[in-house]
Structure 1
Amino acid sequence: MTTAVILATACAVVYGTADFLGGMATKRSRVFAVVALSQAAGLVLVLALLPVLPGGFSAEALWWGLGAGLVGAAGLVLFYRALATGTMSVVAPTAAVTSAALPVVFGLVTGERPHPVALAGIGLALAAVVLISKEAPREKTPGSLSSLLVALAAGAGFGGFFILLAQAPASTGMWPLVGARLSSLALVVLLAVTAGHSLRPSGGSLRIIAGAGVLDMAANVLYLVAKEHGMLSLVAVLVSLYPASTLLLARYVLGERLRAVQITGVACALGAVALIALPGG
């Protein structure tokens, strides 16, 4: 289990770094361009890793990946919609805790039985996700209830991504990620073309976008390997702590201030990792 904890924690750090770069890129280019091009970069990486990492082709794994990619991309679209119509301080933690809780519930329902110490770590991690994702209060916007429901659906999409990926046979290596990236990329490009959005990045942002896509795929690889060494209910909740690394990067790279509630969330995240990593966990 220690291996799974290390891999899942590393996955969270890499995911958070990818999100940080993605956020930097969206300040220079349109969202659809950032998402589509970063996912294309991730696809190139996973195709390059196929001959190197163990695992053979499986149609079943590809189908699980295709499904995961679709629900993950749908979750992303819904998340952006919720942010556009609702209050960020409500939308972000709602989506985050839903995406973290869903794989935990799925794991417990399907027979996983973490040690009580690890269960305490799971609870602390869910609290950490809420605190870390908490933004400064803003003026309440119209349609707050509908945006809350959309945020729940977005979180379910993110959580569904992790659940579906975990269903692919372990012997298939990275093929589920190929399927996931193909379907999500196709969906994002289709939505962009339908809505008339350009996929051309602005000057100077392509490197950042490519970096975000490569790191995002690297995190996906770490997630799959971590899942092979531990329970979904533990691995997924550790991975969901990725906003902590995004916050820390924003603090030390961009000089952004962390609110007291977010610092508390980071402390809870570290405590959650420690509880899950304990021998009894």
Structure 2
Amino acid sequence: MPTVAPSGVLFGLASALSFGVGDFVGGVASRRSSGLAVAALGQLVGTLLLAVLLIVLRPDLPSAGSLAIGAAAGISGAIGVASLYAAMATGAMGLVAAVSGAGAVTVPLLIGIFLLQQPIHPWQAVGVACAAAAVVAAGGASRGGTGRRALGLAILAALGFGFWYALLDRAAAGSGPWALFSSRLAGSSMLLVVAAFRGALATLGPSWRLAVLSGLADMGGNVLYVQARAMLALGLAAALSGIYPLFTMLMARAVLRERLPRLGLAGVGLALVAIVLISAG
């Protein structure tokens, strides 16, 4: 039986914690100002950090096609981030994070099955069923127009993140670092333009600090995941990193005293099971 590096597990869990904290902080900032502005500034921070890494690492130059696909991924990811923060501004953060996280790993799997004729592991099929059940449970726990709108935005975020994963995976075949930078640059540029056009940036105020922190935490999660992936099998690293909604929910409960109904907790549990099964499969 292959051994599992304890340090790799720690990096994977640290990645999940960093992603979870980033989502929570971004959600809190979105309740105080425009979620669109928070997403734009957070993405810009990530873009600048990646630019510094590219200068230091100097990876091989990519093809134009890789950059173009990376940019398309960035647009999709930007829609996902903006939708996530908009959902967290009004909905239960733990539930929103869980639904978007489960959907984000389900979409690339379905693309692989139906468009690329890739095989599916039985456990992944169970994971897809759990993801669908999580959305149903979340729908039952989301009462009123505000709750249903938050759930709809969480599903839109899942689609945005899911297509980001699928497109970036293809773009990274040329040059991973450059594809990620192209993705971030396109996404942050789009968000900044839209936020400026709608006057959303003026709403940031003191929340800009939280927006920057969310961007730093997001990039930290990416770096920690890369470290975990270097020490662990892909499925295990992705599964550990993918439990980040649990940390978002725990922080929302500890800081905001957010309590989910039993149906909502069931939805979060099903979503986490879906993430682990689909990622590890």
- TM-score computed with the length of structure 1 as normaliser: 0.71
What residue in structure 1 maps to residue 122 of structure 2?
116
Report deviation, 1:168.
2.1
Q: Hey, what's the Cα distance between the residues in 1 that align with 2:278 and 2:199?
A: 46
1:189 aligns with 2:201: no
Higher helix share: 2
1:247, 1:258 within 8 Å by CA — same for their partners in 2?
no
Q: Hey, what's the Cα distance between the residues in 1 that align with 2:244 and 2:52?
A: 25
1:126 to 125, 131, 134: 131
How many residue pairs get aligned? The number is 269
Q: Report the 3-state secondary structure (helix = DSSP H, G, I; strand = E; otherwise coil) of the residue aligned with 2:192.
A: helix
1:194-209 → structure 2 map (5 Å cutoff): 194-199=197-202, 201-203=204-206, 205-209=207-211
Q: Report the 3-state secondary structure (helix = DSSP H, G, I; strand = E; otherwise coil) of the residue aligned with 1:23.
A: helix
1:129, 1:240 within 8 Å by CA — same for their partners in 2?
no
Distance 1:262 1:244, change over 3 A: farther
1:41 aligns with 2:45: yes
Bigger drift between 61-70 and 234-243 goes to: 234-243
1:3-18 → structure 2 map (5 Å cutoff): 11-18=15-22
What residue in structure 2 maps to residue 158 of structure 1?
161
Report deviation, 1:112.
3.9
Report deviation, 1:222.
5.6
Distance 1:152 1:271, change over 3 A: closer
Report deviation, 1:98.
4.3
Bigger drift between 250-259 and 63-72 goes to: 250-259
Distance 1:210 1:130, change over 3 A: same
CA deviation profile, 1:61-101 (whole Å, cap 9, x unmatched)? 322221111122234456677899x9989x95876654332
1:69, 1:179 within 8 Å by CA — same for their partners in 2?
yes
Q: Report the 3-state secondary structure (helix = DSSP H, G, I; strand = E; otherwise coil) of the residue aligned with 2:258.
A: coil
Unaligned runs of 5+ in 2: none
Report deviation, 1:105.
0.8
Report deviation, 1:161.
0.8
1:65, 1:164 within 8 Å by CA — same for their partners in 2?
yes
**Aligned partner of 1:104: which letter?**
L
1:212 to 207, 210, 214: 214
What residue in structure 1 maps to residue 261 of structure 2?
259
Report deviation, 1:137.
3.7
Report deviation, 1:10.
5.4
Q: Hey, what's the Cα distance between the residues in 2 that align with 1:248 and 1:131?
A: 22
- TM-score computed with the length of structure 2 as normaliser: 0.71
Q: Report the 3-state secondary structure (helix = DSSP H, G, I; strand = E; otherwise coil) of the residue aligned with 2:78.
A: helix
1:26 aligns with 2:24: no
1:249 to 248, 251, 256: 251
CA deviation profile, 1:214-248 (whole Å, cap 9, x unmatched)? 122233456678889547xx987876653322111
Q: Hey, what's the Cα distance between the residues in 1 that align with 2:40 and 2:249?
A: 24
Q: CA RMSD in A?
A: 4.4
Report deviation, 1:167.
0.7
Q: Hey, what's the Cα distance between the residues in 2 that align with 1:10 and 1:80?
A: 22
1:227, 1:235 within 8 Å by CA — same for their partners in 2?
yes
1:56, 1:171 within 8 Å by CA — same for their partners in 2?
no
Distance 1:219 1:259, change over 3 A: same
Q: Hey, what's the Cα distance between the residues in 2 that align with 1:217 and 1:194?
A: 26
Report deviation, 1:19.
0.8
Distance 1:78 1:269, change over 3 A: closer
2:77, 2:161 within 8 Å by CA — same for their partners in 1?
yes
Q: Hey, what's the Cα distance between the residues in 2 that align with 1:166 and 1:118?
A: 19
Report deviation, 1:20.
0.2
**Aligned partner of 2:244: which letter?**
Y
Q: Hey, what's the Cα distance between the residues in 1 that align with 2:229 and 2:113?
A: 15
1:9, 1:238 within 8 Å by CA — same for their partners in 2?
yes
Report deviation, 1:256.
2.3
1:22, 1:34 within 8 Å by CA — same for their partners in 2?
yes
Q: Hey, what's the Cα distance between the residues in 2 that align with 1:44 and 1:178?
A: 9
CA deviation profile, 1:123-168 (whole Å, cap 9, x unmatched)? 3652575378568443347xx7x99887755543221111111112
